[in-house]
Amino acid sequence: MDLNKKFTPETWPDHPEKATLEAKNKFVGFWLFLGGETILFATLFATYIALKNSGPSGFGFSTQELYELPLVFVMTMLLLTSSLTSVYAMYHLRNYNFKKMQLWLAITALLGLGFLMLEVYEFSHYVKIGFTYGNSAFSSSFFTLVGTHGFHVAIGLVWITLLIFRNAKRGLNLYNATKYYTFSLYWHFIDVVWVFIFTVVYLMGVIG
């Protein structure tokens, strides 16, 4: 593949993310990877549901007292908005508008960072009030499920930061278009997982 081939918005393919065989392979492969990730999170969800509110005798934490919906609502808004901004970025990717794509991706990363910092705050608050990882089966399953999601967010942030800086000087080509596109797939996936965490962990936890 010629990395130095110059495009204009007119010559740029409609689907740059899968314009070559290598790109098509990555595209299909990444979708399959997300399929596997879905099963991974499904296992974590099942375990959490089985162990929620379960601890040693005299255990003092329950989902109703623990979770604070206002904080989680703000986190949800940040992450959902970051999914929207990543869609804008992909819109500009399709239109061969590199600068705007980078800008929207940077905004996506900042929103993701905001989410992650709130999650760190949430976790440290729980630890402070004694709800530590080793406190109970409930705490282990909670931190593992939500923490695995948070870890995915962190990986996504490192990934997109590397991509933004690596390609800052050289613009779009058919080699890195796939990388940007698979990142956006990944980011949407993280977002969908969070919607389930918000529902299954927090909403269902507060209701009962």
Would you say how long the chain is, in residues?
A: 208
- Which residues inside 41-60 make contact with other proteins, applying CB under 8 A? 43-44, 47, 50-51, 54-56, 59
Instruction: Kindly write out the interface string for residues 11-40 of this chain, putting x where it contacts other proteins by CB under 8 A and - elsewhere.
Output: ----------x--xx--xx--xx-xxx-xx
Q: Does 162 bind other proteins (CB under 8 A)?
A: yes
Structure tokens at 135: 């406190």
Closest CA to 186 of 163, 153, 148, 139: 153
Least distance in Å: CB of 182 to other proteins?
11
Compare residues 32 and 207 and give the one whose CB is closer to other proteins.
32
Q: Does 122 bind other proteins (CB under 8 A)?
A: no
**Sole binder of other proteins in the list 82, 85, 108, 139 (CB under 8 A):** 139
* Cα distances (angstroms) measured from residue 206 to each of 14, 49, 66, 78: 46, 14, 9, 21
**Sole binder of other proteins in the list 144, 185, 188, 200 (CB under 8 A):** 144
Gap between the Cα atoms of 154 and 138, Å rounded? 24
SS3 content of the chain, % helix, strand, coil (to 5): 75, 0, 25
Burial (0-12, 13-18, 19+ Cβ within 10 Å), 35: exposed
Gap between the Cα atoms of 96 and 11, Å rounded? 9
Q: Does 147 bind other proteins (CB under 8 A)?
A: no
Residues that bind other proteins (CB under 8 A): 1, 3, 21, 24-25, 28-29, 32-33, 35-37, 39-40, 43-44, 47, 50-51, 54-56, 59, 133-141, 144, 159, 162, 166, 175, 179
